[in-house]
Amino acid sequence: MVTAVARKPASGTLAEVIDIILDKGLVIDAYVRVSLVGIELLTVDARVVVASVDTYLHFAEAANRLDLRGQSEEHDADLQSLMSGQARDKTRGAIEGGVDKIRDVFSRDESEEAQKDE
């Protein structure tokens, strides 16, 4: 399979090189005369990706819409073996107990939300 690398000149993709142009290169300390107010916002915005519930929900959505052909049987088998093995595994039981607690909290929130919506 031939895979093309996307090759671009710098002037055609300012967004790709803006952090280099503003952050790298030589400086004459006494003569930096550019307002950095807007730039800081811009670069901070682009660089920091915070792991948030939004991010997680986005990935979950991506996972849900995927068509995992040929994998469903395997996973059904996994699920069965997991369920039958549950009692053996105390550690897992403890973790799932904790998860149940969280689930309670969440579902309480959800039902409250639902009541508010009505």
Partner 1 sequence: MGMLVHGIVDAESVPALSQAALGVAADRSVRWVVSGELAGLVSDCPDGEVLPSRANLLAHTRVLEAVAQTMTVLPMRFGVVVPDDAALERDYLVARHDELRRSLDRLRGLVEFRLRISYVEDEVVRAVLEDDRTAARLRGRSSVQAQVQLGQHISAGIDARREQDAQAALDALAGHAADVSVTRPLGGLDVLVASFLVVSDRHSAFDVAVDELAERLSPLATVELVGPLPPFSFAGEER
Rule CB under 8 A: which residues touch partner 1?
A: 1-11, 13-14, 16-28, 30-35, 38-39, 46-49, 51, 53, 55-64, 66, 68, 71, 75, 78-79, 82, 99, 102-103, 106-107, 110
Distance of closest approach, residue 22 Cβ to partner 1, in angstroms: 6
Q: Are 55 and 49 in contact (CB under 8 A)?
A: yes
Residues whose CB falls within 8 Å of the CB of residue 86, separated by 6 or more in sequence, listed in order = 92, 93, 96
Q: Which is nearer to partner 1, 7 or 116 (CB)?
A: 7
Q: Are 28 and 1 in contact (CB under 8 A)?
A: no
Residue type, 36: L
Q: Which is nearer to partner 1, 28 or 87 (CB)?
A: 28
The residue among 37, 50, 43 whose CA lies nearest residue 15 is 43
Q: Which is nearer to partner 1, 14 or 87 (CB)?
A: 14
Distance of closest approach, residue 50 Cβ to partner 1, in angstroms: 8
Q: Which is nearer to partner 1, 23 or 117 (CB)?
A: 23
In whole angstroms, give the CA distance from residue 13 to residue 64.
33
